[in-house]
Structures are given as structure tokens and as C-alpha cells.
A = this chain, B = another copy of it.
């Protein structure tokens, strides 16, 4: 049975990308003492189409909204969190304790999204056995063995591009099911492994292109 590339668990990737945006927005609103929210006001604030907002919410909410009243904020937050699986935390390992890896190891916000980095790997002997953000750095050669034994499901790749495929292969061999890739390179993985690319080069290119166009058009 072939799985559609753009679908994850029955909803479109586009919707999936908007859910965390809604989640963050609703948490903000919740702090401001608001109890309910309407799709048109959410859409206006987030610059989205109101029907799109309603359809997205319909994918996750059990009780739905009430005409003239909108949705209950607390309920929506809970529904989104359950839908996205925030509450069943997955353990992750990080490969490559360079500056970006260090930033991710010290970042506090991941657990909110159901991901906990439990350790890191690096081939630089000077980093091995030190701690960053409270997480111990192990030698790269122990990656496969340790990940397998600890039944780790998520690998985060922050090594340079030339080392990324090798890191990826070891993670896959260890049984990792999802890879969060920060190296600007296309990774080859078996079909059952999800690769989520965080490609900064893409964003930069888009910015650069936009400014290039803006200049040409004399804006």
C-alpha cells in the first residue's frame, strides 16, 4: 500500500505545518484572559483564509465550534496537542556538537513539542565526555550501538554536509525512524524513515532572491 508523500497520518502536510502556528497563537490568546476565539479573527491575525482555518481546526477538534461564539481556546489547544502527539515524548540524539548542535542542545523549547534530546555524538575527542546543556557527548563510533540499545527514534544531524550521509546511515542502522537534518544536503534513506530538512540555505536563497527582485523593480 503506497502512502501519499504529502500526507502524514491522514492530514495534508500544509495543514500539519499550520497546526503549531495555531497552537502558539492560541497559547498567546489564552494568556490574555480570552476564553473563546472565532475562525475569522484567527484568520485575520495570522493572515490566513478563514475557511482554511476552520477546515484545519475541523481536522483536529472533537467538539468543534459553536456558531456566533467560536471555539473554546483551552479545548483547541488540548486537541492540537493530542493530535500532534505532544504528550508522548520521543527521545532523540544529536550528531555533531558544533555551534549549531550546541545551540540545539541548550535550547529549552523542544520538550514542549514532544522531543527530548538525551545525548549527543561527536568525532572530536576534545568534546567527548564533556556536557553541553546537561547532555553528555559520546564518541561518534558509539552512535549505532548506543542508539540501538536505548531504542532511540529520532536523530538530529548537525554535522557538516560531507559527513551527513554517514551519520544518517548509522542512525538508520540503529533503528531511528525520523531524522531532523540541518545539513544542506539530500539524504538517502529507506522508505520507512522520515527525513525532515531544516534547510537554512533555502530560506537564505529566498531572501536573497526577494531583495534582488525588489532592487531590480526599484522598490
Residues of A within 8 A of B (CB): 8-10, 13, 16-17, 19-21, 23-25, 28, 45-47, 83-86, 88, 90, 99-100, 102-103, 106-107, 109-110, 113-115, 153-154, 161, 177-178, 180, 184-186, 192, 194, 196, 198-215, 219
Q: Contact partner of A207 among B21, B102, B178, B200, CB < 8 A?
A: B178
Which residue of the partner chain B has the closest CB to A158?
B103
Contacts of A203 in B (CB 8 A): 180, 196, 198
Contacts of A153 in B (CB 8 A): 211
A206 to B6, CA, bound (A): 12
Number of copies: 2
A199 to B16, CA, bound (A): 13
Q: Which 6 A-B pairs have the closest CB atoms?
A: A85-B212, A9-B213, A103-B103, A113-B204, A114-B208, A99-B103
Contacts of A21 in B (CB 8 A): 186, 199, 202
Q: Contact partner of A210 among B88, B178, B200, B215, CB < 8 A?
A: B178
Q: Are A90 and B20 in contact (CB under 8 A)?
A: no
Q: Contact partner of A204 among B110, B206, B215, CB < 8 A?
A: B110
